[in-house]
Structure 1
Amino acid sequence: MRQVDEMEKKLKTLEEKLNYSFKDKKNLTIALTHTSYANENKLGIISSNERLEFLGDAILNLIVSQYLYKKYPNYSEGELTKIRAKVVCESSLAYVAREICVGDYLLLGKGEESTGGRERESILADTTEAIIGAVYMDSDFKTTNECLLDKFEKDIVKAVANGDLFSDYKTELQEKYQKQANSKIKYSILKEEGPEHDKIFFMNVFFNEKLLGSGKGRNKKEAEQMAAKQALSLLGDQNE
């Protein structure tokens, strides 16, 4: 009973971060259930998040495509396709998952748990798609559309403005401080985790020894961009 209460409390916290309350909590639980956990506990294929991931991927592509089609009427099919690919990518999906701490709620098998599955880029990205599928199954297209754009619209606009979703966070952060003489932004690796073929880098960004933000990535460059992105987000919150 205690475990059930704790799980319900965790799911409620995640719902608050998603800004969506599930009518059927089972939809969210399945979205968080990795195949390794389902297999280990003999739950069957319908109890893992793979089917919801399949659905969520299609819905995400449709919603982003619809947004781009309406928002940018003068862009060609090729241009729209390139922008969508930059937004609907593993790095972008995993970043959204980290922002709402999806890794804390995952149900993983012991093997995945012991090898850092909660931080693995591919698992986080797949789970984000599964959650999108779960929201759709629990509600409707309109609700899912609103919930998704709340998380992705800023990244879409950045992809259009800069041509690359993750290319300009460092530059944007640098520009905020460049007027201050004798000051410098520095990036520092906090730690590295995982095997050589699947390593995750943890990066901090400092300004005059003050920590501005932190980020993770599959290489140092991506980790720096993610740290800069968090710093910009935190600066925005401070200015509101």
Structure 2
Amino acid sequence: MKDYNKKPQKAQKDGAEEQIAKKHRENAYSIHKSEDKPLELTNAYQYSQVLQLEHAVTNFMEYFNKIIQLSPNYKVYLENVDRPQETSVEILPAMLRHKLKCAAELASLNELGKLPLLEELNNYESKFSASDRKPILKDLKESDLDKMSASVNNEMVRHWNEVSRKAEEEEEEDGYEPEETKKKWPPKLPEIKNSAIKARVFIHKSMINDKLYLSEHDMIKAHNERLEFLGDSILNTTITMILYNKFPHLSEGQLSKLRMKLISNERLKKWSFLYKFNEKLRTNLDKTCENNDFKHGKQKLYADVFEAYIGGLIEDDPKHNLPKVRKWLSKLASPVIEEEFKKDDDLDVNEVDINAKKTLYSLIGYAALNLHYKPIQKPSSEDSNALVECRIKDGTVLGVGKGRNIKIAGMRAAQQVLQNKPLIEKYANLRAAVPRSDSVVKGPSGSKRSPPSDDGDDDSSASQQAKRANLGPGNDTSSNSRIVAMPDGSLAFN
């Protein structure tokens, strides 16, 4: 006889999953909850919380990828576990802890293609758009919203719906980066639809100077100088915004230097020839004479006509053409920017790792190695960069760093050493081979001193050495013992 009170197996499963989901919802956002009130717009995010979240996501991705790059797969891990006699002594303790196994399993899942989340996370930034409200991670569906706890009130949802709608309308017009990966060169020139404005772009002032029948107002409106003035301002602002948004880690000086390369007369002249503006320009200047103002001015009027064309686009249709100018100039400037970065060492967009020195010392540093940083060039009016060498006791230079000050240059020197894997392996093995008793520096009296810090500074203050001398093991001192200064500055018992 059937038991009609018994729920079908699928229904029981769905009920169990709902209970689990309900429990997760109850625990979700616990740091924000206060009683049962919905979260308000003002307290959904706190500033310090946002800073920590962004920092955590950045570190999460960096270290997740580092695990995949460094770790062997699980098969290799097991081979090492099964043959401990062939494993280095300094590595063996780590094999008994959980971290290497966890890393090996993650690397194996990635090798087998079973870790799609990592690929999604790596591509997250490129797929992100502030105007797109759909989830990017595949396992998160829009339908899941109904299962989540209310973390914001309805007013906030309506607010963000309105913001997103407006952003979607503007996104089509105001993008900076080209969407196509394979671009034709040169990028398509935006079109000036008003024929009168387009004609004025290519009329040089020399064509109007002898037209005495024109009033001053008519003369101003008949050539391209006003359009050049407008275009110069738009060009400067647009290139500034492109560089400012594209390179958040460049300093003001580096941005200014790069901008000058992009808006110089020589660069604009090349772009003008690229679009054959030189063939369209109408002028009364003699272009054939070798010693005239035209030659002495390095053909500046060709740079001017390029700016005039930008001004013509804005005068023709400012609302629709300004985003087009931004996209066009972004594509046009891209190879120039790439070229400048290759030949100019001052344009360094790599973020400085503030923990580079500590990381390096933790890998290879010990007292006898005397890892330290030697400034070899300070910033000056001739060269605004500092140079610092990362050295060891015998004077060997492990790496060199450049930066706008000594501190940053030192960090970059450590970063350069960290990128040299064979070098790191060599000195890490040397450190592992040094007996513990020999890994400290001894003074003339035989008393032990602490090893130098990661920047090579040796802590040898009298008070700390005296404290170590009094408290160190094996120091048999009588009541008449006293600490005296040695000729070399160290301390000893007398």
**Structure 1 counterpart of 2:248:** 73
State how far apart, in whole Å, the 2-side matches of 1:161 and 1:63 are: 23
**Per chain length, whose mean CA-contact separation is higher, i.e. which structure has more relative contact order (CA < 8 Å, sep 6+)?**
1
Q: What SS does the aligned partner of 2:227 have? A: helix
Residue correspondence of structure 1 range 156-171 to structure 2 within 5 A: 156-163=337-344
Asked if 2 retains the 8 angstrom alpha-carbon contact of 1:136 and 1:143, the reply is no
Deviation, 1:49, is 0.8
State how far apart, in whole Å, the 2-side matches of 1:28 and 1:18 are: 16
**Structure 2 counterpart of 1:30:** 200
The alignment yields a C-alpha RMSD, in angstroms, of 2.6
**Structure 2 counterpart of 1:142:** 323
Q: What SS does the aligned partner of 2:312 have? A: helix
**Structure 2 counterpart of 1:151:** 332
Amino acid in the other structure paired with 1:40? D
Q: What is the number of residues matched between the two proteins?
A: 148
Q: What SS does the aligned partner of 2:203 have? A: coil
Identity of aligned residues (%): 28
- Asked if residue 123 in structure 1 is aligned to residue 301 in structure 2, the reply is yes
Q: What SS does the aligned partner of 2:193 have? A: coil
Deviation, 1:113, is 4.9
Residues 1:63 and 1:115: Cα distance change in structure 2 (over 3 Å): same
Deviation, 1:38, is 1.8
Deviation, 1:120, is 5.3
189, 196, 199: which one pairs with 1:19?
189
Deviation, 1:73, is 0.2
Structure 1: gaps of 5 or more residues? 1-15, 165-240
Structure 2: gaps of 5 or more residues? 1-185, 346-494
Residue correspondence of structure 1 range 49-68 to structure 2 within 5 A: 49-68=224-243
State how far apart, in whole Å, the 2-side matches of 1:80 and 1:66 are: 10
State how far apart, in whole Å, the 2-side matches of 1:45 and 1:154 are: 36
State how far apart, in whole Å, the 1-side matches of 2:330 and 2:289 are: 33
State how far apart, in whole Å, the 1-side matches of 2:298 and 2:210 are: 19
Amino acid in the other structure paired with 1:143? K
Q: Deviations over 1:79-128 (max 9, x none)?
A: 1001101111011000001111111101112x435548599520101111
State how far apart, in whole Å, the 1-side matches of 2:288 and 2:208 are: 16
Asked if 2 retains the 8 angstrom alpha-carbon contact of 1:83 and 1:160, the reply is no
Asked if 1 retains the 8 angstrom alpha-carbon contact of 2:187 and 2:331, the reply is no
Q: Deviations over 1:149-203 (max 9, x none)?
A: 2322221232233239xxxxxxxxxxxxxxxxxxxxxxxxxxxxxxxxxxxxxxx
State how far apart, in whole Å, the 2-side matches of 1:115 and 1:30 are: 26
Larger gyration radius, structure 1 or structure 2: 2
Q: Deviations over 1:16-70 (max 9, x none)?
A: 9853222201112111110001213455122111111111111111111001101
Residue correspondence of structure 1 range 214-233 to structure 2 within 5 A: none
Q: What SS does the aligned partner of 2:221 have? A: helix
State how far apart, in whole Å, the 2-side matches of 1:45 and 1:60 are: 22
State how far apart, in whole Å, the 2-side matches of 1:148 and 1:50 are: 21
Asked if 2 retains the 8 angstrom alpha-carbon contact of 1:91 and 1:125, the reply is yes
Asked if 1 retains the 8 angstrom alpha-carbon contact of 2:231 and 2:308, the reply is yes
- Compare the two structures and name the one with the higher strand fraction: 1
Question: Normalized against structure 1, the TM-score is what?
Answer: 0.55
